[in-house]
Chains A and B, each alone.
Chain A
Amino acid sequence: MIRIQNLTKSYKRYIVHYGSLKNFLLNFKKFRKQVATIDVLHAVKNLNLDIQSSEVLCITGPNGAGKSTLAKLIAGTIEPTSGNIDVEGRIVPFLELGVAFIWELTGEDNLYLNGTLLGLSLNYLKKKKKEIFEFAEIFDFMNTPLKYYSSGMQLRLAFSIAMHAAGDIYIFDEILAVGDSNFQKKCFDAFHNLIKTKKTIIIVTHDIEFIKKHATKVLVLAPEKHHLIEDVSVLPPLEDLNSLLAFCGF
Chain B
Amino acid sequence: MSFMDLKQKYQDSMLGFFWSFLKPFLQFVAYYVIFAKILNVGSGVNYALRLFFGVLLWAWFAESTSLGFNSYIEKRSVVTKIKVSRYLPPVAAYTTQTMNYFLNLILFFILYVMGMPSFPVGLLSFYNFFIFFMSFCSMSLVIVNLNIILANLNVLYRDIRPIWELVLSYGIFATPIIYHIPIPERYQTLYYAINLIALPLEAMKSIFFVEQSKTYLLPHVLIAYIVSLAILILMSRLTYKKLSKKIIDYL
Cβ distance B185 to chain A, nearest Cβ, rounded Å? 37
> B81: which of A11, A93, A105 is its contact (CB, 8 Å)?
A93
Stretch in A72-80, A193-201, A213-221 touching the partner: A72-80
**Is B186 interfacial (CB-CB < 8 Å)?**
no
Q: Which 4 A-B pairs rank lowest in CB-CB distance, beginning with the nearest?
A: A76-B83, A79-B245, A99-B81, A99-B77
- What mask results when residues 32 to 76 of chain A are scored 1 for a CB within 8 Å of chain B, else 0? 000000000000000000000000000000000000000010011
User: Would A102 and B4 count as touching, CB distance under 8 A?
Assistant: yes
**Is B220 interfacial (CB-CB < 8 Å)?**
no
User: Would A104 and B8 count as touching, CB distance under 8 A?
Assistant: yes
Known interface pairs A78-B248, A100-B77; A117-B82 also in contact (CB < 8 Å): yes
Known interface pairs A78-B249, A104-B12; A99-B82 also in contact (CB < 8 Å): yes
**Is A112 interfacial (CB-CB < 8 Å)?**
yes
**Is B80 interfacial (CB-CB < 8 Å)?**
yes
Return chain A residues, CB-CB under 8 Å to B78. 99-100, 117
20 A-B pairs with CB atoms under 8 Å apart are A75-B83, A77-B79, A77-B81, A77-B82, A77-B248, A78-B248, A78-B249, A79-B248, A99-B77, A99-B82, A100-B77, A100-B78, A100-B82, A102-B4, A102-B8, A104-B8, A105-B8, A112-B4, A113-B4, A117-B82
**Is A21 interfacial (CB-CB < 8 Å)?**
yes
**Is A96 interfacial (CB-CB < 8 Å)?**
yes
Known interface pairs A77-B79, A100-B78, A104-B12; A109-B7 also in contact (CB < 8 Å): yes
Return chain A residues, CB-CB under 8 Å to B83. 75-77, 91, 93
Chain B interface, >50% SS class: helix
**Contact count band on B:** 10 to 19
User: Would B7 and A105 count as touching, CB distance under 8 A?
Assistant: yes
Smallest Cβ-Cβ distance to B81: which chain A residue: A99
Interface residue ranges of A200-239 to B (CB < 8 Å): none
Cβ distance A216 to chain B, nearest Cβ, rounded Å? 24
Return chain B residues, CB-CB under 8 Å to A95. 81
User: Would A93 and B248 count as touching, CB distance under 8 A?
Assistant: no
**Is B124 interfacial (CB-CB < 8 Å)?**
no
Cβ distance A12 to chain B, nearest Cβ, rounded Å? 9
Cβ distance B33 to chain A, nearest Cβ, rounded Å? 36
Cβ distance A126 to chain B, nearest Cβ, rounded Å? 14
CA distance A93 to B79 in the complex (A): 13
Smallest Cβ-Cβ distance to A97: which chain B residue: B81
Return chain A residues, CB-CB under 8 Å to B79. 77
CA distance A109 to B12 in the complex (A): 15
> A105: which of B11, B82, B248 is its contact (CB, 8 Å)?
B11
User: Would A105 and B4 count as touching, CB distance under 8 A?
Assistant: yes
**Is A244 interfacial (CB-CB < 8 Å)?**
no
User: Would A96 and B4 count as touching, CB distance under 8 A?
Assistant: no
Q: A11-B249, A93-B81, A117-B82 are in contact. List 6 more A-B contacts (CB 8 A).
A: A21-B159, A77-B80, A99-B81, A109-B4, A117-B78, A118-B82
**Is B121 interfacial (CB-CB < 8 Å)?**
no
User: Would A104 and B81 count as touching, CB distance under 8 A?
Assistant: no
- What mask results when residues 117 to 153 of chain B are scored 1 for a CB within 8 Å of chain A, else 0? 0000000000000000000000000000000000000
Return chain A residues, CB-CB under 8 Å to B1. 100, 113, 116-117
Interface residue ranges of A163-218 to B (CB < 8 Å): none
Return chain A residues, CB-CB under 8 Å to B110. none
**Is B84 interfacial (CB-CB < 8 Å)?**
yes
- What mask results when residues 79 to 116 of chain A are scored 1 for a CB within 8 Å of chain B, else 0? 10000000000010101100110101100010011001
